[in-house]
Structure 1
């Protein structure tokens, strides 16, 4: 809390006879040039944070003045220190955070410090939601079987988290089988007005957080400031470090009108994502305003806010208003808390009404909600929206492009194989340039669950209602249930080759599904509840049935997944689905009935029912039907019941033996949790900026390399470096689990870095996967093996890439794995926000090409020896450096953006910096 109070802003707010200290924004409204009353709401929340945390160190009086007089139209760089009220973790990224805290306790002991000093200083909640996998489906026992398998696979991890729960202060764990972290955050953890303590008195301030998942932004729908960061930044925030950031540009997104008949919140969010991607909002705040806000439910707002990473913004913010209060009451918050939110936000000028003047924004764009049409997105990126009416044509176009791509890859690989044997290269015949590609769909005879059929190109093999984006929204969830009821009534069935799954984001969904009476129809169509967690959206779709999987491989079929998720990047959903489409929950059910994506749902029937052909329009629920069932089925007592003992867990969780002691007893034989090497040989003083000379290129990539490409995610391929290593330790393929589940083991994660099955490296043209070369014409080798050889020789490494390097999830391992492979610098045309900061946090310098130059325009081969000139302890943020690559010389800009980041880099990374401060 503030120790300086230069603006005399400390005041008292009394609600229901209870007094709270707060810091009045009005106190700086009288400054010369003050813009407080016209600032976007999101920047007013940042201003409150600075005002309250003014300490003369991280936050100076001048910082508060700059924010209070900020001109949002000016393109100025101003660094501020933002302290969050709390931190949110999910278990994939949360386990490595706790691993690092345990390792820091060991390291501080070696430096002569007290291990008990290493604790979260801010409240931390970890929700176990990323581990459950869809192994069983389409049967009533699916949830029970998947839960049992989850505990069997993750026993070591859960035991470790139980240790953390007991050994660490300010650390709570929401056990498995409760829901998705963002939905739990929205429905229970989020306070809007956060209650803390100052000098023994209660204090109220704006709730805020950072989370180790990019979809932390869902909470922005509730008027809470928060966004995703890497586990590295989250650990620093936990340990009391402020988030260093530049005051962002704020793009105002004006909404008018109302959604039309047939359009859902999913269609709206796919439209917003497409528009905002085109607007180029990376690194910016988006704030929604306008009369259309009043027609959107809180769940609709949360759906839009949740997709901020897909449209590239830091967050998508909705101010607090009457709808916020209504949702807080519905979701079981106490009446006192609701009153506190209302009175605090009104006192601070943070409460929006229809009469509120529009804030001033850096730039704006506008959407008339009445123009939104039913849509999907895909087949490989969430921003590629497709109107439902164009879906068949889009599939045909994508299918043709995919066949041509595969043919060209086979041709290149065949040509290269003339000189060198390529491991894993396609065995297809070479295709001459410009030759026509055969587009005849392939098919394979197949049988599954007692039915015989032909599996064809374009088949939907996965239909999943999954992810926080949609399962937090009763209107689209109940629409799926109503559509299922109508489909069953007309005699429709799900196609036998479709793997169906329903994974709600919280147990409240089960409650209102039961009250609405829609679960029996969903069960009839194979959409039994498979568990409560991210499942398919995070890559935990589980294996396809063996007969389906074999048919796909035998026929080299191009098959699809349709999911109500937010991510559909290559290789993410399932290794065998080349096409992945995002869709609303009712459309997921519709495509399960159709069984294929090469269909026009306007003019072709979903199937033949008991009385003839049935079209989508015949079973699509009306907005009135959906509204009526939502009002009748979603009740406050459901939230109160399900969140009554949210930290308790089931019998299996309670039965886990939790280790004790303030330092963790590492098990050398564990393949899940290992002591990481980050602090080995660490000194008490910072090593400073080290030169990069005579470096080599580990990999050279094109545009839109995602953290899914870089960071280990999803299933572990048997022939991959990680799979080979696990087998060498006696771990059977069936027990590999996923990369996410093994994030606490750096040996697995290093081998899995740059091991995505769809990764394309310019050093190995015509190949996909974990392959690179160390010299032209050399035998391809894995990134891991090449790295080990380079590191043994003392050779530093760099990565070269195109635009938007590191888009996607906020994965700490995309940076950790890169650093552990010996990469010292990444040179790219542009970076995604979170991955850029994570690289800095791990001591890897991000560098951007300047003057429009690219790896192609410079003629880089990737086999040059590279030296970077200008690196020293006196280097300023965003410095211009010179790169010598063989006989070529060019300039790059350092993307170490702030003095605080420069400090972290001098220490070798953010955790080293924090540890030295504490020691």
Structure 2
């Protein structure tokens, strides 16, 4: 994509800074052209990008003029091409992105093109943060042991990423044990305002990004527009393609008042998540405004922004204001950058003050921060908030409730089941339903927030002083999001207090939140299995979907870091903290949670003691070369990756097999069979391979056939660069239920017309061999959860060519189109059940070269008995450019052909 700015509307102006003059596109002048004079801040950022990127090809004057008509109260359907300033990758999703780029280079060579044309066009940062697992814990050596095991397990992946670091321009890697991508982004990478120095007079423009982790919106707390996309979409952006999207509706959330003493940012975010999920913001932007922002720190804002995927929004945006500037200074940003951010934001009307007129929004919701109460959420979804005072009664209700009502279906007569076991240290205990098996202060939502982490340290200190300890069956862990966290905890004298309760540093990575919780002690897991116990994980992360955290913790709760410590002490979620003591002190007196809960003044004193600008500068200085093990891996600049057929980690995927230089025509999908029939709320965790690899599963059997022992399987996430493993693991989650295989979980289906039960992988391969396309029938919210590209890649390689669902989550729908899979949506009031479909039918889908966004397509289901069911479904190809992606067989194929076509003849 041509980056040369064409000032077609005469909007360019100059801004004087102490470092010299810069050019910029005046939003003040631009607003004279727009229908609304009070646009949301986040929309202004998108509009600036569209205008600045006009090149007459991917981005046109017509795109901009259509956007100028945007009405915040009734956004309509305006297609815009948004080009972010940069792309952020984490290693689980980043490795397959780099694999795909390498495969595109190989495909380009096979098509007699120049492989070097496949190269990131935007700055790309990949942060290795998803590969470390909590195998070792509750020990001063846990960090080192986990790090060594991480390198052992992932050496081949890391060698591949080092190749990418040398082979691709605009591509930087933050090595392992440095932090998580979101916190590194917030504390280090985010600039708020970018400078393009390609001409004599630099161009200033808003920082923005897309990232391959759904929690990329965490950066919104710093005034930077950014959101999560699938790896497929990110790859296209890296290669210079705009992200074509409908100009989003923006829901405004006015924050007023101030929080009551003892309330944490976690309590606020769980309240807002519940509120926004109830209102419905899927596919929309959320923008916070109101005087309540002035007293809300950037870390608190980032905590709220981080949970955007949990409340369903694309972004949870906070405008730039004085808090932004203060945070940038405190985290060590250069003073000339801070000056530029303030001058530019004020000149552009992007700087919020309490006197700033409120923007116009589609809807305005209000939250009085004074109404927030202590909360947790769970046990299966992050949006299911529970007031802490009702946590015990909710647990009892949930334990007995049917599974289909998000309960555990444990009969009353079995709820007192207890299993006696002897732990490794000789302690004998009785484990029962509700016991806490994992208590983890883990990365993402909270570990960027000093106030809640220091609260956890203060609570641990007070607990230890009263003689309280963590229950011996609880697996404790502390996995902060950046090196600075342990630095300030040590400086505050609180790290050793946390260690007294077992919260030793286990690694710098996502860890428990993404399922890298490591195994439970065998004595605990054995007791859980013996008694079929519903035990709990309590974590400070943001994801508690069923089957994600650990296969043995069926109940999982999100909580603030101090509550994680408290639940570890209590050892059970079956407790009323208000009325029941958390433990007994050395004098035999009961200790209640309120007795050790830190007060706000204590927290502020520790925050002042802990945070230091120079410490941030020191912590991030030379970050990219800070890991000696990483540095010792050789780097080459070979343009083509030398694929190794015997590798169990990195393989050349089949996405471009048989690809021609020109696309074919869109044809109807005929004689298709249902491979998967799913219910409501199927997440990308259900679809995409994640977590541990079962030795008995198709993926486990494949690895063993290669000579890989089960102890060396690593995780699905670490093997995302091997399509052979990932395809076999698609739909293999132990909590996934395929309605075509009643009474089973995981990778099981029924093949038609034979009626044979088999794994989903085997059935998919059989259909492919017979030339039969496969489809998925699903309920509501299909694909909710993390932005997992393999939730689309895996189905594609299984031969799935269409998904018919009652509704889709935003990112997953986009990823399906990006892989050439047709998303269709049942019309309102219709579903597979209402139409009498049982999944044994043959399907005809009347899609052809005339397909248009949102049109109704005829679907015909023919039962083997001859019965025919016809219905119309909405084509969820949502834009004209997505039609082109679908026509090409996917977004990567379209980009590859575009690069091929632009070569000199």
Shorter chain as normaliser: what TM range?
A: over 0.9
| 1:678 aligns to 2:655 (yes or no) | yes
Q: 1:588 to 1:164 in 2, by over 3 A?
A: same
8 Å CA contact 1:695–1:795 kept in 2: the answer is yes
The corresponding residue for 2:865 is: none
Cα displacement (A) at 1:775: 4.3
Cα displacement (A) at 1:124: 0.3
8 Å CA contact 2:457–2:498 kept in 1: the answer is yes
The corresponding residue for 2:22 is: 20
The corresponding residue for 1:747 is: 724
8 Å CA contact 2:251–2:285 kept in 1: the answer is yes
Q: What SS is found at the alignment partner of 2:423?
A: strand
1:379-415, Cα deviation, whole Å (9 max, x unpaired): 00000000001110111111112589999999xxxxx
Task: Work out the CA distance in 2 between the residues paired with 1:582 and 1:772.
Answer: 33
Cα displacement (A) at 1:543: 0.6
1:771-824, Cα deviation, whole Å (9 max, x unpaired): 111249944211001101111111100000000000000000000001000000
The corresponding residue for 1:882 is: 858
The corresponding residue for 2:59 is: 59
8 Å CA contact 1:120–1:239 kept in 2: the answer is yes
873-882 vs 506-515, which moves further? 873-882
641-650 vs 153-162, which moves further? 641-650
8 Å CA contact 2:400–2:408 kept in 1: the answer is no
Cα displacement (A) at 1:652: 0.9
The corresponding residue for 1:313 is: 313
Task: Work out the CA distance in 2 between the residues paired with 1:444 and 1:692.
Answer: 57
Task: Work out the CA distance in 2 between the residues paired with 1:667 and 1:17.
Answer: 50
Matched pairs, number: 892
The corresponding residue for 1:418 is: none
| 1:472 aligns to 2:472 (yes or no) | no
Q: What SS is found at the alignment partner of 2:431?
A: strand
8 Å CA contact 2:75–2:248 kept in 1: the answer is no
Task: Work out the CA distance in 1 between the residues paired with 2:70 and 2:408.
Answer: 53
| 1:623 aligns to 2:604 (yes or no) | no
Task: Work out the CA distance in 2 between the residues paired with 1:906 and 1:719.
Answer: 38
Query: Of residues 517, 522, 546 in structure 2, which corresponds to 1:541?
Result: 517
Cα displacement (A) at 1:457: 1.2
Query: Of residues 809, 822, 827 in structure 2, which corresponds to 1:850?
Result: 827
The corresponding residue for 1:573 is: 549
Q: 1:236 to 1:123 in 2, by over 3 A?
A: same
Q: What SS is found at the alignment partner of 1:627?
A: helix
Cα displacement (A) at 1:609: 1.5
Cα displacement (A) at 1:50: 1.5
The corresponding residue for 1:505 is: 481
Task: Work out the CA distance in 2 between the residues paired with 1:260 and 1:129.
Answer: 35
8 Å CA contact 1:84–1:210 kept in 2: the answer is yes
The corresponding residue for 1:827 is: 804
The corresponding residue for 1:483 is: 459
1:124-160, Cα deviation, whole Å (9 max, x unpaired): 0000000000000000000000000000000000000
| 1:763 aligns to 2:740 (yes or no) | yes
8 Å CA contact 2:420–2:428 kept in 1: the answer is no
587-596 vs 640-649, which moves further? 640-649
8 Å CA contact 2:310–2:785 kept in 1: the answer is yes
| 1:235 aligns to 2:199 (yes or no) | no
The corresponding residue for 1:7 is: 9
Q: 1:330 to 1:500 in 2, by over 3 A?
A: same
The corresponding residue for 2:194 is: 194
The corresponding residue for 2:892 is: 911
Cα displacement (A) at 1:13: 1.3
Q: What SS is found at the alignment partner of 1:38?
A: coil
The corresponding residue for 2:380 is: 380
| 1:203 aligns to 2:179 (yes or no) | no
Q: What SS is found at the alignment partner of 2:446?
A: helix
| 1:862 aligns to 2:864 (yes or no) | no
The corresponding residue for 1:439 is: 415
8 Å CA contact 2:67–2:78 kept in 1: the answer is no
Q: 1:404 to 1:697 in 2, by over 3 A?
A: closer
8 Å CA contact 1:446–1:455 kept in 2: the answer is no
The corresponding residue for 1:601 is: 577
288-297 vs 6-15, which moves further? 6-15
778-787 vs 201-210, which moves further? 778-787
| 1:895 aligns to 2:872 (yes or no) | no
Task: Work out the CA distance in 1 between the residues paired with 2:407 and 2:97.
Answer: 43
8 Å CA contact 1:119–1:239 kept in 2: the answer is yes
Cα displacement (A) at 1:516: 0.6
TM-score normalised by structure 1 residue count: 0.95
TM-score normalised by structure 2 residue count: 0.97
Task: Work out the CA distance in 1 between the residues paired with 2:414 and 2:173.
Answer: 54
1:307-328, Cα deviation, whole Å (9 max, x unpaired): 0000000010000000000000
8 Å CA contact 1:332–1:636 kept in 2: the answer is yes
1:544-602, Cα deviation, whole Å (9 max, x unpaired): 11111111111111100000010000110001110000000000000000000111111
The corresponding residue for 1:873 is: 849
The corresponding residue for 1:293 is: 293
1:732-775, Cα deviation, whole Å (9 max, x unpaired): 11111010000000000000100000001111222221111124
8 Å CA contact 1:176–1:649 kept in 2: the answer is no
| 1:810 aligns to 2:791 (yes or no) | no
Cα displacement (A) at 1:7: 1.4
Q: What SS is found at the alignment partner of 1:269?
A: helix
Q: What SS is found at the alignment partner of 1:63?
A: helix
Query: Of residues 687, 692, 696 in structure 1, which corresponds to 2:664?
Result: 687
1:256-308, Cα deviation, whole Å (9 max, x unpaired): 01111111000100000000001110000000001111111100000000000
Q: What SS is found at the alignment partner of 1:577?
A: coil
Task: Work out the CA distance in 2 between the residues paired with 1:448 and 1:700.
Answer: 44
8 Å CA contact 2:415–2:433 kept in 1: the answer is no
Task: Work out the CA distance in 2 between the residues paired with 1:361 and 1:128.
Answer: 38
8 Å CA contact 1:167–1:660 kept in 2: the answer is yes
Cα displacement (A) at 1:56: 2.5
| 1:591 aligns to 2:567 (yes or no) | yes
Cα displacement (A) at 1:90: 0.2
Q: 1:550 to 1:487 in 2, by over 3 A?
A: same
The root-mean-square deviation of aligned C-alpha atoms, in Å, is 1.6
8 Å CA contact 1:479–1:621 kept in 2: the answer is yes
Task: Work out the CA distance in 1 between the residues paired with 2:210 and 2:357.
Answer: 29
1:613-636, Cα deviation, whole Å (9 max, x unpaired): 111001000011111111111111
Task: Work out the CA distance in 2 between the residues paired with 1:62 and 1:405.
Answer: 49
**Structure 1 regions of 5+ residues with no counterpart?**
411-434
Task: Work out the CA distance in 1 between the residues paired with 2:372 and 2:356.
Answer: 26
The corresponding residue for 1:643 is: 620
8 Å CA contact 2:416–2:432 kept in 1: the answer is no
Task: Work out the CA distance in 1 between the residues paired with 2:619 and 2:114.
Answer: 40
Query: Of residues 569, 582, 599 in structure 1, which corresponds to 2:558?
Result: 582
Q: What SS is found at the alignment partner of 2:50?
A: helix
Q: What SS is found at the alignment partner of 1:891?
A: strand
Cα displacement (A) at 1:26: 1.9
Query: Of residues 548, 555, 567 in structure 1, which corresponds to 2:531?
Result: 555
The corresponding residue for 1:145 is: 145
| 1:662 aligns to 2:652 (yes or no) | no
The corresponding residue for 2:490 is: 514
Q: What SS is found at the alignment partner of 2:775?
A: strand
Task: Work out the CA distance in 1 between the residues paired with 2:490 and 2:93.
Answer: 33
Q: 1:369 to 1:462 in 2, by over 3 A?
A: same
Task: Work out the CA distance in 2 between the residues paired with 1:807 and 1:197.
Answer: 40
The corresponding residue for 2:685 is: 708
Task: Work out the CA distance in 1 between the residues paired with 2:404 and 2:121.
Answer: 55
Task: Work out the CA distance in 1 between the residues paired with 2:31 and 2:751.
Answer: 61
